[in-house]
Structure 1
Amino acid sequence: MSIWPVYTGTEEPHDGMARLPDPPPWRTFNGGPPLPLPLEPNGAASPDREHRAATYQATPQSVEMVNAALVLRRPLLITGPPGSGKSSLPYAVARELKLGPVLRWNITSRTVLQDGLYQYDPMARLLAASREAGNGGRDEPAGAPAGNTVEDHLRLGPLGTALLPYERPRVLLIDEIDKSDLDLPNDLLNVLEEGQYEIPELVRAARQAPTARLMASDSDDRVTIAEGRVRCRAFPFIVLTSNGEREFPPAFLRRCVRLHLRRPEREHLENIVRAHLGDLDPGTEEMIASFLEQNSVGELATDQLLNAIYLARVPGLPAESREDLAKAVLVHLGPVTEFHDF
């Protein structure tokens, strides 16, 4: 039976993860006890995520690099211009391979590693302790907070949830890693290499409370953490996106499989438009041609084109309004070398 590819880039979900070969010996993890993959909330993905996953148009290169990351159990670092589909790819992979809801960690300049692993609110715990003291130790009324142990004020973050010992990989999108503080990529190294982390607040409390029940990032359901330590079983499929705004340290880069997405050529662009908006009409083909011309002299994103085409198809929109709206929506994202009017 053929193993490659596991991810095919097709639109139909399948059970290809059963064909995934064993990990390399240096990327084998043994966390447990194993957890089943969670279901989407209410049994289905939100409409926007489902649409994003179902309409993603994979390139041969992206299919190859996704499979390399899956087989090697390594993060996938995707670079490329805005609107090239970087953040849509993990949703497509999760849908095709039936890997459950995608976890998402949005990065800012203030993000630190702990934000991704877990959140702890010591002030809330202090207030709860004060409330208990003021209550004279009596039982709280119905509807009051349930307790004041450490676990009552802890919640796993997206990365911390992805590293739970799931039977199959969770999909995690770490979006716009290039916007992070300079230290974050280096801080991620050990966690991504070892596939595990500790929660110091639980480690310190382990003598009195060997296990704790914490809420995961994307659910109110609780998972059991033993001795304050989490170790993955199936290394998550982690996608890190970057708009190329900074360089990353070599130690970080060598731990990632890298994929660079380029601006789509005409055929690929037409396939994207068909996937989102149906068959092309003459007006749409003209807008695609104008978009490609404008994109050759300054940066435009594919979703800008989709917005312009969608507006142009609004019933009753006059031709002059269609042209004005196209100009308003298709504004270059950076400097232009030359201007071409529509």
Structure 2
Amino acid sequence: MTSETPPGARPDRGPDGWRLFHGDRVAREPELPPAPAWRRFGPQADRQAARYVITEDQVDVVNAAIHLRRPLLVTGNPGTGKTSLAHLIAHELSLGPVLQWAVNSRSALADALYRYDAVGRLRETHLARELGGGAVEAGIDNYVRLGPVGTALVPRHRPRVLLVDELDKGDVDLPNDLLTVLEDGYFEIPELARLPEDQSVQSVLTSDAGERAEVVRGIVTCTEFPVVVITSNAEREFPPAFLRRCVRLNLPDPTEERLREVVAAHLGPSAMADAEDVLRTFLAREGGGLATDQLLNAVFLRGAGLDLSAEHLIKAVLHNLGGAG
């Protein structure tokens, strides 16, 4: 398939033309329609940034964080665009792919800085000795990989964008520990710092596939503070000391006007023509925990010929994030 349906256009199909799966156990090989723009493979920054809708006030807050070299703490309900904002910043400022650290309850700052694969190195050393018969030790540089935070602190002419996603899910001490490293602008890799002088310069792996970074005497020191975007769903409060060192941006739930702008940006200006009832249903149920991407899903399916007036389909597409819808 080489052609794509223009944004907002409805494919020319029969009453059941949108059905690819029929549930009748008959094997077919249907032509798959184009995926939604936000569900296509390709550069993540291009996909998430190209259609992001942001207000002038929010732009000013982002610029304040960049000028001050302070982390931008972005809060808001799921689906308000917190993660996509980091990709938009990287895209507009041409700062390369976003370095992303997805935080969970088991996340440790040490792993986000670097990892040393001691077991892999030991295994490689034993294998080399068996094959060569001599006292061979595998070089350490291939077994040290900088994590997203560590890669963000690598010295470079232009900074990288570091996205720390859902920091509120981490350990209670993690926010202050993270900002301490970012404020200092450096960290030590003890396994490299202990090496003799003739091995003091090591070219280690980074979070960027195929890229390496030179580390001298085990110290990684940045020359430009990374552009740090920290997202939170407000599952818990952050320490006051942490909040004082951040520029804060709250992304509110979108208004009806903003929702129309988002739909037009993703699906074309005519997408809402056949989906006014979908928007009304979304707005009526929004207090139950719906996200903007759920509205996009529903409008996209309406354009594909799906009859969203059926209650079971409404529940399937516009289900509440907090539970059954």
C-alpha distance in 2 between matches for 1:52 and 1:234: 25
* 2:325 is the alignment partner of 1:329: no
Q: 1:286 aligns with which of 277, 298, 307?
A: 277
Letter in 1 for 2:67: V
Identity %: 50
C-alpha distance in 1 between matches for 2:260 and 2:168: 30
Deviation of 1:198 (Å):
1.0
Secondary structure of the structure 2 residue equivalent to 1:78? strand
* 2:249 is the alignment partner of 1:259: yes
C-alpha distance in 2 between matches for 1:320 and 1:266: 20
- Shift in CA distance, 326/78, structure 1 to aligned 2, threshold 3 Å: same
**What is the RMSD of the two structures over their aligned residues, measured on CA atoms?**
2.2
- Shift in CA distance, 190/47, structure 1 to aligned 2, threshold 3 Å: closer
Aligned length: 284
- Unaligned 5+ segments in structure 2 are 1-40
Deviation of 1:270 (Å):
0.8
Conservation of the 8 A alpha-carbon contact between 1:80 and 1:243: yes
Q: 2:59 aligns with which of 58, 63, 66?
A: 63
* 2:221 is the alignment partner of 1:225: no
Runs of 4+ in 1 over 6 A off after TM superposition: none
Per-residue CA distance 1:244-296 (angstroms, 9 max, x = gap): 0011111211111111111011111111111111123333232222212211x
Partner in structure 2 of residue 9 of structure 1: none
C-alpha distance in 1 between matches for 2:316 and 2:118: 48
Partner in structure 1 of residue 236 of structure 2: 246
- Shift in CA distance, 85/115, structure 1 to aligned 2, threshold 3 Å: same
Partner in structure 2 of residue 100 of structure 1: 96
* 2:40 is the alignment partner of 1:52: no
Conservation of the 8 A alpha-carbon contact between 2:45 and 2:91: no
Q: 2:266 aligns with which of 276, 286, 292?
A: 276
C-alpha distance in 2 between matches for 1:292 and 1:284: 13
Deviation of 1:90 (Å):
0.8
C-alpha distance in 2 between matches for 1:168 and 1:101: 13
Letter in 2 for 1:266: E
Conservation of the 8 A alpha-carbon contact between 1:311 and 1:325: no
C-alpha distance in 2 between matches for 1:319 and 1:71: 47
Partner in structure 2 of residue 113 of structure 1: 109
The TM-score normalised by the length of structure 2 is 0.82
The TM-score normalised by the length of structure 1 is 0.78
Per-residue CA distance 1:320-341 (angstroms, 9 max, x = gap): 55x54232111112379xx9xx
Per-residue CA distance 1:125-158 (angstroms, 9 max, x = gap): 1112222332344699xxxxxx712212101111
- Shift in CA distance, 133/97, structure 1 to aligned 2, threshold 3 Å: same
Letter in 1 for 2:74: I
- Shift in CA distance, 174/226, structure 1 to aligned 2, threshold 3 Å: same
C-alpha distance in 2 between matches for 1:153 and 1:216: 11
Conservation of the 8 A alpha-carbon contact between 1:107 and 1:175: yes
- Shift in CA distance, 319/290, structure 1 to aligned 2, threshold 3 Å: closer
Conservation of the 8 A alpha-carbon contact between 1:298 and 1:335: no
C-alpha distance in 1 between matches for 2:308 and 2:220: 59
Q: 2:87 aligns with which of 71, 91, 111?
A: 91
Conservation of the 8 A alpha-carbon contact between 1:178 and 1:245: yes
Letter in 2 for 1:131: L
Partner in structure 2 of residue 42 of structure 1: none
Secondary structure of the structure 1 residue equivalent to 2:194? helix
- Shift in CA distance, 299/319, structure 1 to aligned 2, threshold 3 Å: closer
Q: How does 1:167-246 map to 2 (within 5 A)?
A: 167-246=157-236
